[in-house]
Amino acid sequence: QVQLVESGGGLVQAGGSLTLSCAASGSVFRTNVLGWYRQAPGNQRELVAVISSGGSTNYADSVRGRFTISRDNVKNTVTLQMNSLKPEDTAVYYCVAKRWMGRDPEYWGQGTQVTVSS
């Protein structure tokens, strides 16, 4: 079992920055991949960025070059640095964990709201 706790959401003006953090606890072997999905009103949940314990990353095309994901394998935490935020980035952001890159998330956090105003 894995527990995921997010922090760092908030309200920011377009062009600004926010940093999201997530602390994972529980079975380490189930957290080979950590990262973030998001869901905006009326939309499906979509991948934002994920990172493996070895440092491999996968970003959504819409955030590549603006967002940076990183992790601390000792603390089992993952961080998403979001720069040049746009109103379309407004969504609930969910920390996720899974065993394998390319698979659907197996564990979800409660979510944290990110709102970008124009």
Among candidate residues 17, 116, 8, the one with its CA nearest the CA of residue 68: 17
| Token pair in block for residue 15 | 């062009």
pLDDT for position 59: 98
**How far are the Cα atoms of 13, 45, 81 from residue 85, in angstroms, in the given order?**
8, 18, 10
Residues (pLDDT < 70) of the chain are none
pLDDT for position 28: 80
pLDDT for position 26: 87
